[in-house]
Structure 1
Amino acid sequence: MTPTETPLGPWEPAPLAEVAALFAPLRVPWWIGGGYAIELAVGHTFRAHDDIDVVLLRRDQLAVQDVLRDWEWWAADPPGRLRPWHAGEILPFGVHDVWCRPGWDEPWRIQVMFDEAEGEEWVSRRSAALRRPIAQVGAVSPGGIPYLAPELQLFYKAAHPRPKDEHDFATVLPFLTPAQRRWLADALTRTYGPHPWTAPLRA
């Protein structure tokens, strides 16, 4: 794969199977996110990916440093400045992304994203009123890979949908259950107001 160039260095996403193997030893919840989560929900690959996302709860963030012990970790401080994430440092709310690579001269391989939680509930960082039991945040693929529930991933993509997000929505829509469609339509309306995805979700 040809690395994808960014102003902050090239990206060469680690293969899904490699990422799953790296995070499998964790004893805290984690999920594959982004476009790969949509593909796992659909059951097949349908587009290229510029990166690969792993989602953890913020309270479990230091588990990333354990599982990627020999890697470099860089926190994306708003509005997007990368800086080293130091061992044992607790990243506050507002810092949601960490870029990871095996070494300083290596491409970026994995992006880790942190979600919020209170007790046994997942809490959306876009709207604290949106909650669900942590046990219902994701699903597991037939191959044993945990992934973010498609309605949650689409909710994040819906804030500023790009062409690839529109593609993801159209591809996974037939696979959403009535309950998933209702949750997403309600979440979009409550958080973003009128949204072009609401009508097909309610159809």
Structure 2
Amino acid sequence: MSEGEGAASARTIGDPWGPWDPLSPREVADLFEGVASPWWISGGHAIEFAVGHRFRPHEDIDVLLLRRDRHVVQEVLADWEWWAADPPGTLRPWLIGETLPPRVHDIWCRPGPSAPWRLQFMLDAAEGDDWVYRRDGRIRLPVARLGGRSPDGIPYQVPEIPLLYKARGTRAKDERDFSEVLPVLGSEQRRWLAEALTLVHDEHPWIDRLRTEGG
């Protein structure tokens, strides 16, 4: 599921709605080959790309889209089902052409009604050339700096973004993600994340570690 409160709500409503059999990042990239709109593998998979190797299992796979590009889901997965995770705790069909309200930022997808869920999209805001953190509009990053690419060309989100979402309610896997990726974060990445966390989670324990550890 998506990280932070999106993940919690999605996992809570997910179990009664059937099993997950997530696509691999490579399978996602194959589906999205040729798509002009930007997209990025996110969540724990993105952090593993930054680290350079896999270090934990994953129950799902998250793909980030800018909200303004949400139509890509219905175009690329035209024969699939698309469901909106509509807080608090509702999973409902997303109709063709429907404009999703701002509170909906998770889309679940599967090939058909008897198939497992294969893919989740997270929708984040953008203003002009800037990505905007949906929980606090003061936190921004140029869209051009949102992602990198794996050695085989898969787009993935820079790790400081999923870490910012994960910081709100850290779980054991979030702590591991942070510890694994911290040594490879550059000084600018550590500074940006420490400043963002200071704005929204002033006493978060990761702040001191960002300032005293790392590369």
Q: TM-score range by the shorter chain?
A: over 0.9
* Deviation digits for residues 54-85 of structure 1 (CA, Å, limit 9, x no counterpart): 00000000111001111100000011210000
Report the Cα offset of residue 117 of structure 1. Answer: 0.3
User: RMSD of the alignment, in Å?
Assistant: 1.2
Gaps of 5+ in 2: 1-10
Asked if 2 retains the 8 angstrom alpha-carbon contact of 1:61 and 1:90, the reply is no
* Deviation digits for residues 154-175 of structure 1 (CA, Å, limit 9, x no counterpart): 0011111111111100000001
2:95 paired with 1:86: yes
Report the Cα offset of residue 126 of structure 1. Answer: 1.2
* Deviation digits for residues 14-59 of structure 1 (CA, Å, limit 9, x no counterpart): 1221111112221011000010000111111111000000000000
Q: 2: CA distance between counterparts of 1:92 and 1:145?
A: 29
Which has a greater percent of helix?
Answer: 2
Q: 1: CA distance between counterparts of 2:145 and 2:24?
A: 26
Matched with 2:119 is 110
**Seq. identity, %:** 60
**TM-score, normalized by length of structure 1?**
0.96
**Aligned partner of 1:133 among 128, 138, 142:** 142
* Deviation digits for residues 119-156 of structure 1 (CA, Å, limit 9, x no counterpart): 11111101100112110111111111111110111001
Asked if 1 retains the 8 angstrom alpha-carbon contact of 2:25 and 2:154, the reply is no
Matched with 2:48 is 39
Q: 2: CA distance between counterparts of 1:95 and 1:23?
A: 22
**Aligned partner of 2:191 among 172, 176, 182:** 182
Matched with 1:8 is 17
Q: Secondary structure at the match of 1:89?
A: coil
Q: Secondary structure at the match of 1:158?
A: helix
**TM-score, normalized by length of structure 2?**
0.91
Matched with 1:56 is 65
Q: Secondary structure at the match of 2:56?
A: coil
Matched letter for residue 31 of structure 2: L
Matched with 2:128 is 119
Report the Cα offset of residue 90 of structure 1. Answer: 1.5
